[in-house]
Amino acid sequence: MLIFVGIDQKTKVRIRTIHQGIMEKLKRQFSAKIIAMITEKPITVKYNTRLKTTAGRASKDKIELNLPLLSENPSELPQVYAHELAHTICCRLWPKKRIGHDRNWKLIMTKMGFQPRSHGHKAHSQKNPERRYQIPL
């Protein structure tokens, strides 16, 4: 179950569709016990306006998305959502492990039908260009 906070209706529908497609793939590949562990608690999906350099962030019960980046690059939403959902799934299946881009995360991404990439999203904001600092000598 997904709980949406501060997300517009159009994006909710897109995320729900992406989520349902992913879950159908996982149900064909994992046991009912594993699926129950993944789906036992709802996932809150929300925008986080403080995210500046990343397209999303995840924890055991929450996925946060960067609205400006995804608004400028809507085609990246499926990959970004899947990336963060894979982190949430890993948190639920391996709760004592650190969240990262390890072999478990890569396995989940592959089973969901997505490239297990951790960088290289096309989500670069024109409004928040990369900051460069110069150290005065």
pLDDT of residue 132: 44
Q: How far apart are CA 124 and CA 130, in angstroms?
A: 9
Share of the chain above pLDDT 90, in %: 72
- pTM score, whole prediction: 0.85
pLDDT digit string, tens, across residues 57-104: 999 999 999 988 888 999 999 999 999 999 999 999 999 888 789 999
How far is residue 91's CA from residue 103's CA, in Å, rounded to a whole number? 13
Report whether pLDDT(25) > 80: yes
pLDDT category, 127, cuts 50, 70, 90? low
User: For the chain, what's the residue count?
Assistant: 137
What are 41-54's pLDDT values in tens digits? 999 999 998 998 89
128 contacts 54 by C-beta, under 8 angstroms: no
Instruction: List pLDDT tens digits, range 106-125.
Output: 999 999 999 998 765 554 54
The highest-level CATH class for domain 2-112 is: alpha beta
Where are the chain's structural domains? 2-112
pLDDT for position 98: 83
CA 79/CA 34 separation, integer angstroms: 22
